Amino acid sequence: MNSDRRPLLLSPKEENHENNETGMAVEWPCAACATLLGIAHLSMGLGLLAFDVVTNETSETAFAATAALAYIICSVLSFIAARRLDRCAQLLLFAFAAFSALTSLSIFLEAAVVLNRLCGQRACTEGRDLVHSTLICIALTEFVISSISMIVCYRSLRNAFGVNTVASPYSTLIVGDYTTLERQPRPMRNTRAKSLL
């Protein structure tokens, strides 16, 4: 029963299914890895946002604010996915991790092109090289974190994880049932071979 001490929003809601089983929220076995990835996404997002606010006049990058918001959204979705096993949250995390990887790649390419223009044969000019080098490091780090998030989500969506209690994020990535990731090839029809005979 709901009361002031136990409000409706915090009490677990039971749903009756066709089999008369109650559908309670199930915790994701990869929750520790998702929490660690959420912390990494959040720190990279806030770090990039602060770095962009301070150095935007120098760097003039176009994607930093968008990428920082995408990283922060990835962190929120990672924390949501860590609390409960929800296919929709994992699909959203996969989609935003892919978007974060693309924005990281665009920041990397933009900063690399500007850095190549600034640095000639003799030396780098204008002192902007440090800003763009930092952007390259941030973009590559977030690209790796987003790629790991996509791998963990994909394996979880395909039920290929093999951990019940996570010892480390590495065990979440490595241990698992890889047969669920296999796809059977379509059988080929020999229509051409029959026509030749």
Q: At 181, is the pLDDT very low, low, confident or very high (cuts 50, 70, 90)?
A: low
Q: At 43, is the pLDDT very low, low, confident or very high (cuts 50, 70, 90)?
A: very high
Phi and psi at 93, nearest 5°, equal: -65, -40
Rounded-to-integer distance, Cα 148 and Cα 170, Å? 10
Nearest to 104 by CA among 153, 45, 56, 154: 45
More confident residue, 100 or 195: 100
Name 16's bridge partners. Answer: 22
What's the confidence (pLDDT) of residue 192? 62
> Is the pLDDT assigned to residue 175 strictly greater than 60?
no
Mean of pLDDT over the chain:
75
As a whole number, mean pLDDT of residues 93-103 equals 93
Most confident of 47-51, 162-166, 186-190: 47-51
Report which residue type is found at 158: R
What's the confidence (pLDDT) of residue 23? 53
> Is the pLDDT assigned to residue 96 strictly greater than 90?
yes
- Answer whether 156's CB lies under 8 Å from 28's CB: yes
Provide the whole-model pTM. Answer: 0.69
Six-digit token string for 188? 């080929």
